[in-house]
Amino acid sequence: MTLIPLRPLMEASVKHGFAQGAFNVNAVAQAKAAIGVHEMFRSAAILQGADLANGFMGGRCDFMNATLEDKKKGAKNIARAVKKYGEDSPIPIVLHLDHGRDFDSCAAAIAGGYTSVMIDGSSLAFDENVELTREVVKYAHARGVSVEGELGVLAGVEDHVFSEGSTYTNPLKAVEFFRKTGVDALAISYGIMHGASKGKDVKLRKEIAVAIREFLNHEGIFGALVSHGSSTVPEYIVNEINGLGGTLTGAIPDEDTPAITDCIERGVKEVVGTLIVQFGSYGKAPLVEQVSLEEMAERYKKMQI
């Protein structure tokens, strides 16, 4: 099965009332394990590569300073890993860019084989965020690639994103954002946090998400709502990796690599499998339409008429 854009999966989740997890993969072992556990639960999969991860996978250890060419190379490497285990998979798989920081980062991911991108303009003024997001949407939709935007600021740290406090998303502004940009999905802020949040200092205002959904339904606008900040790592996985030298600086000895890889795969399967059940996406893969990028590009074109 070829990779699909995000839109058909989000349409299925909204129609049939289930949540869909999205999981970052920065190594072949993670991609392999994530796809395997989704297949076991017959759940569609969203695998993510972060903007900075693309730089790292492009060969830049100082990935904060990765060039556009580094990101293009890294995007292809991550896409190659996902396709290796996903092309013959019975489940639909989306390859999504997490926190694209600018237009060029999104274009690099698309060139590398991503079927969905996030453009994070949440640090900008509303009108500037709209303008940037709309530019990405125009470019991506012409290629059948889906787009996620972000409105509101989440506390915490993730890649290049950092904020000590949250700015809650205004539901009316969210609807305006969907209407003006044409995004397929929108990450909103309602008290969730970037990073490995365990609930400390988190004050959820779920009524914000409920209000946005009701407004979208009333206006007849399609839009999936996205929650960031659901990261978690089992303590035993952290201890096991550290026990194998994970806290050391420099390279890990080659003889330890299989053990670390096995540890990573077991951890991914445990965490991802648990969340698939909690989100309710198990058994839902057959409900997701398998749409190619070419077909999706034609659909986006008709939506603009």
Q: What is the CATH number of the domain that holds 27?
A: 3.20.20.70
Residue 264 has a pLDDT of 81
CA angle (276, 282, 284) in 5-degree steps: 130
Q: How far apart are CA 251 and CA 66, in angstroms?
A: 21
Strand partners, 186: 149, 225
Residue 32 has a pLDDT of 93
Which of 243, 237, 252, 152 shows the shortest CA–CA distance to 196? 237
159 is catalytic: no
- Residue holding tokens 């250890």? 61
- Within 13 Å and on the Cβ side, how many CA atoms surround 206? 0
Residue 248 has a pLDDT of 37
Domain that includes residue 167, residue range: 4-302
Residue 15 has a pLDDT of 95
CA angle (164, 22, 154) in 5-degree steps: 15
Q: Into how many domains does the chain fold?
A: 1
- Which helix (H) or strand (E) is 214 found in, with range? helix 206-219
Which of 239, 27, 52, 83 shows the shortest CA–CA distance to 158? 52
CA angle (19, 25, 30) in 5-degree steps: 105
Residue 20 has a pLDDT of 96
Could you say which of 98, 120, 159, 184 is catalytic?
98
This prediction has a pTM of 0.86
User: pLDDT digits over 212-221, tens only?
Assistant: 999 999 999 9
* Intervals of the chain under pLDDT 70: 1, 153-166, 192-202, 230-257, 305
Residue 218 has a pLDDT of 96
3 state SS of 237:
helix
Which of 79, 124, 117 shows the shortest CA–CA distance to 98? 117
Residue 253 has a pLDDT of 54
Residue 8 has a pLDDT of 98
- Kindly report the number of other CB atoms within 10 A of residue 110's CB atom: 23
